[in-house]
Amino acid sequence: MKALICGGGIAGLALARCLGGHGWEVVVLEKADGLRTHGYMIDFFGPGYTAAEEMGLLPRLQELGYAVDALRYVDEDGRTRAGLSYERFAKAAGGRLISIMRPDLELALYESLPGKVDVRFGTGLTAVTHHPDGATATLTDGTDVAADVVVGADGVHSAVRGLAFGDGEGDRGAQQHGRGEPYVRRLGFHTAAFVFEDPGIHAIGRKNFVLTDTTDRQMGFYSLRDGRVAAFAVHRSADPALPDDPREALRREYGGLGWVVPRALRACPPGHEVYYDLVAQVEVPCWSRGRVTLVGDACYAVSLLAGQGASLGMAGAYLLAEQLAEAPSVGTALRRYEERWRPVVAEKQRAARRGVRWFLPGSQRELRLRRLALRAAALLPGADRYVATALAGRTKGVLRRALR
């Protein structure tokens, strides 16, 4: 059996790793020219953690991961106004949490690929043709690749979804989000991440994720082991368009935040090295058309508000591979995958939308409430478990239940 996977991110590489392990021939298309070295820090827990354990990846992820002591919200003078102990958060997640840079998670997956997986960097696709027993993709280099299954693991703005699923005309799910990109529900924020060098800021963010305690816009820092600093930013914006120059946009939007933010913005690399996107969820009424299917953000992005997109991408890929390896036909496998995984991601998407105010307060009142909640969590026994559940929803046993 053969799979063509478009997208060599977390979901695509995890699927390639698992299908390759089941003896499938796998081709992965990745539009980037090579593995990324820039990115953002993610908390990796829940079903993706279980999938990584099943794949034997945990030792490598632990090696690449970071020991975070605390998340701290600071004022303009850098004084801590509220915080959350990571040790307690991790304990509430049963100790099954790794803080890791997204490129390092991709690196671990890439290193684990069986030799016969063919990863083609700098390549995408321009067309997908359906057949009764498979599909053919036309690649950007002009060649055709026929496969038993074509998988779009190409993120929120999935090209496979656009080519094989159309523009959403007539889909109720697409129409409910208005005239933007079909199937994409914008949540009213823009987000950005970049990596830069500044020894002073590096000293502040060591073993701590330090964020501005601000309304409507927020910037945070974490110190990397190679001396660089990873910056993360999010601000409220209803604008559906992305800026031509992300660095300029960051300087405009965050320049007034005070503390070390102006310094970080001066050290920000050029726009093409900055990650910048709308914060959005993806809802597709049916994840497969014939032998073309979707996985990860391409069909069920939960958004960074849920803090679990990478985890769900990896776990969904694991589940899809297991179904493809075990089910009597590809059609049955694709149906089972969606039946079992859709309810899990739908619950996370709802939880993320409910948590918007907690994530980025929109007023001084909401900011004060968040500070109070975090202080209570630090003092009351058992409250940290409540906060962890509020942040992450139920995570225990999710993948194992879907696999049954």
Ligand X SMILES: Cc1cc2nc3c(=O)[nH]c(=O)nc-3n(C[C@H](O)[C@H](O)[C@H](O)COP(=O)(O)OP(=O)(O)OC[C@H]3O[C@@H](n4cnc5c(N)ncnc54)[C@H](O)[C@@H]3O)c2cc1C
Binding flag, residue 307, ligand X (CB under 6 A): yes
Please identify, among the stretches 35-43, 69-77, 249-257, 392-400, the one whose residues bind ligand X according to the rule CB under 6 A. Answer: 35-43
Please identify, among the stretches 60-68, 148-156, 281-289, 323-331, the one whose residues bind ligand X according to the rule CB under 6 A. Answer: 148-156
Binding flag, residue 304, ligand X (CB under 6 A): yes
Query: Least Å distance between CB 314 and ligand X?
Result: 8
Binding flag, residue 242, ligand X (CB under 6 A): no
Output the furthest CA–CA distance in the chain (Å, rounded). 64
Tell me which amino acid residue 275 is. Y
Q: Smallest Cα–Cα separation from 206: which of 65, 67, 84, 38?
A: 67
Identify residues 182-211 at the interface with ligand X (CB under 6 A). 191, 193
Q: Which long-range contacts (CB under 8 A, 24 or more apart) does 356-360 make?
A: 356/187, 356/188, 356/305, 358/390, 358/391, 359/234, 359/305, 360/189, 360/215, 360/216, 360/217, 360/218, 360/234, 360/235, 360/236
* Contact criterion met (CB below 8 Å) for 197 and 228: yes
Q: How far is 78 from 67, CA to CA, in rounded Å? A: 22
Of the candidate residues 297, 322, 338, 384, the single one contacting ligand X (CB under 6 A):
297
Of the candidate residues 16, 19, 30, 253, the single one contacting ligand X (CB under 6 A):
30
Kindly state the DSSP code that residue 233 receives in the 8-state scheme: E
Binding flag, residue 20, ligand X (CB under 6 A): no
Q: Which long-range contacts (CB under 8 A, 24 or more apart) does 139-143 make?
A: 139/29
Binding flag, residue 29, ligand X (CB under 6 A): yes
Binding flag, residue 229, ligand X (CB under 6 A): no
Between 43 and 384, CB nearer to ligand X: 43
Binding flag, residue 27, ligand X (CB under 6 A): no
Of the candidate residues 12, 220, 246, 361, the single one contacting ligand X (CB under 6 A):
12
Binding flag, residue 310, ligand X (CB under 6 A): yes
- Binders of ligand X: how many residues, by CB under 6 A? 34
The pair of structure tokens assigned to 152 is 């779009």
Q: How far is 353 from 359, CA to CA, in rounded Å? A: 10
Sign of CA dihedral 21, 55, 294, 243: negative
Of the candidate residues 3, 4, 5, 9, the single one contacting ligand X (CB under 6 A):
9
Between 134 and 152, CB nearer to ligand X: 152
Binding flag, residue 322, ligand X (CB under 6 A): no
Query: Least Å distance between CB 198 and ligand X?
Result: 20
Please identify, among the stretches 53-61, 294-302, 361-369, 374-382, the one whose residues bind ligand X according to the rule CB under 6 A. Answer: 294-302
User: Torsions phi, psi of 3, nearest 5?
Assistant: -125, 140
Three-class SS of residue 346?
helix
Between 108 and 193, CB nearer to ligand X: 193
Burial track 202-213 (b if 16+ CB lie within 10 A, e otherwise) = bebbeebbbbbb
Q: How far is 210 from 219, CA to CA, in rounded Å? A: 8
Binding flag, residue 32, ligand X (CB under 6 A): yes
Binding flag, residue 159, ligand X (CB under 6 A): yes
Query: Least Å distance between CB 100 and ligand X?
Result: 9
Please identify, among the stretches 25-33, 72-80, 170-178, 380-388, the one whose residues bind ligand X according to the rule CB under 6 A. Answer: 25-33
Q: How far is 288 from 334, CA to CA, in rounded Å? A: 7
**What residue ranges bind ligand X (CB under 6 A)?**
6-12, 29-32, 40, 42-44, 102, 124, 153-155, 159, 191, 193, 232, 296-297, 301, 304, 307-311, 313
